[in-house]
């Protein structure tokens, strides 16, 4: 493959920590050593963009190129890397762990033993690593917690969401999740018990006759049906959990509004009840102050009867 900046960027993106991956790209760079100025610049730029875990792989690549290509590339190759390595080491050692710093120190020691660089460059690299402060385990945990908090903040329910489930819908959703696919121990046990042959193509070489192949094909078909069904259920479960998660905030907000409304109505009806109780008490007091007509005197009490109208005119 011809050398271009784009092709190198692609190869660096695919670079892994395996010895084969590093050596393969190293040989390619040594072959294109006439482009050393360009590829050292690209290497340095891509190292800066790489994740913390991948930066050390870029240093390993530079180490392989320097050790195996210095005779072919000459002082020009060493000069190009020497101009960027102190800054690359500093960038790699920032906020890293003790193990990574130890590996960087080991590389500098190798360069010193094999006289890859002169004392000035080696001293500068040692100085960079000497002031590097490794990340403590506690700080690493704090970083992970912060990353999780940021992720939760991004995925938090949207309180302004227009979709508000009522209580019945929420109950139905929760009940469905209780019986979700991830809780189905029976199906998970079936999947765990599937023979290795259904997922390992290398077993096909061991098939001796057609009947054995047909039995395996039937087993694979059954396994496919089980897994397809289970994956669909898991997909639905994921959808329902996201729906529940996003619905919680608006549902809680709605319930808070209803609670406040119910509390207000309760206060109003308590006040009405107190008013009715006060009116009842006042009525009872008024009733007690009225005369008891049932206790007035009558003929049966032995008193003379009142005169009639005729008696009055006959007088």
Q: Does residue 122 share a domain with residue 70?
A: yes
Three-state secondary structure of the chain: CCCCHHHHHHHHHHCCCCHHHHHHHHHHHHHCHHHHHHHHHHHHHHHHHCCHHHHHHHHHHHHHHHHHHHHHHHHHHHHHHHCCHHHHHHHHHCCCCHHHHHHHHHHHHHHHHCCCCCHHHHHHHHHHHHCCCCCCHHHHHHHHHHHHHHHHHHHCCCCCCCCCCCHHHHHHHHHHHHCCHHHCHHHHHHHHCCCHHHCCHHHHHHCCCHHHHHHHHHHHHHHHHHHHHHHHHHHHHHHHHHHHHHHHHHHHHHHHHHHHHHHHHHHHHHHHHHHHHHHHHHHHHHHHHCCCHHHCCCHHHCCCCCCCHHHHHCC
Indicate which CATH number applies to the domain containing 10. Answer: 1.25.40.90
Position 231 in a domain: yes
Q: Give the residues of the chain that fall short of pLDDT 70.
A: 1, 131-164, 198-205, 292-315
Give the per-residue pLDDT at 64.
93
Give the per-residue pLDDT at 298.
54
Domain end residue (candidates: 85, 111, 130): 130
Give the per-residue pLDDT at 161.
47
Position 308 in a domain: no
Q: Which domain holds residue 93?
A: 5-130
Q: Does residue 122 share a domain with residue 10?
A: yes
Q: Does residue 29 share a domain with residue 97?
A: yes
Q: Does residue 118 share a domain with residue 182?
A: no
Q: Does residue 16 share a domain with residue 122?
A: yes
Position 198 in a domain: yes
Give the per-residue pLDDT at 203.
62
Overall number of domains in the chain = 2
Position 207 in a domain: yes
Give the per-residue pLDDT at 66.
93
Position 266 in a domain: yes
Position 158 in a domain: no
Q: Does residue 206 share a domain with residue 97?
A: no
Position 10 in a domain: yes
Q: Does residue 259 share a domain with residue 199?
A: yes
Position 75 in a domain: yes
Give the per-residue pLDDT at 83.
92
């Amino acid at each position: 493959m011809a050398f271009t900046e784009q092709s190198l960027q692609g190869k660096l993106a695919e670079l892994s920590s395996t010895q084969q991956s590093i050596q393969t790209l190293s040989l390619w760079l040594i072959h294109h050593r006439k482009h050393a100025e360009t590829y050292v610049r690209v290497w340095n730029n891509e190292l800066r963009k790489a994740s913390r875990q991948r930066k050390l792989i870029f240093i390993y690549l530079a180490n392989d190129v320097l050790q195996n290509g210095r005779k072919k590339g000459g002082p020009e190759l060493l000069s190009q890397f020497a101009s960027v390595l102190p800054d690359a080491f500093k960038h790699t050692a920032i906020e890293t762990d003790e193990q990574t710093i130890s590996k960087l120190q080991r590389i500098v020691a190798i360069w010193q033993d094999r006289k890859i660089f002169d004392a000035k460059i080696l001293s500068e690299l040692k100085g960079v690593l000497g002031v590097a402060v490794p990340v403590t385990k506690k700080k690493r945990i704090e970083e992970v917690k912060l990353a999780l908090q940021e992720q939760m903040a991004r995925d938090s329910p949207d309180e302004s969401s227009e979709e508000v489930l009522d209580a019945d819908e929420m109950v139905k959703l929760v009940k469905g999740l209780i019986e979700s696919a991830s809780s189905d121990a029976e199906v998970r046990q079936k999947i765990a018990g599937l023979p290795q042959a259904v997922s390992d193509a290398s077993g096909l070489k061991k098939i001796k006759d057609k009947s054995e192949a047909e039995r395996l094909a039937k087993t694979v078909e059954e396994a496919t049906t089980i897994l397809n069904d289970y994956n669909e259920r898991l997909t639905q479960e994921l959808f329902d959990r996201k729906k529940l998660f996003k619905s919680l905030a608006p549902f809680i907000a709605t319930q808070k509004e209803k609670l406040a409304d119910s509390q207000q109505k309760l206060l109003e009806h308590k006040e009405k009840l107190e008013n009715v109780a006060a009116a009842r008490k006042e009525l009872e007091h008024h009733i007690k102050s009225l005369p008891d007509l049932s206790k007035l005197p009558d003929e049966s009490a032995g008193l003379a009867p009142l005169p009639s109208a005729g008696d009055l005119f006959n007088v």
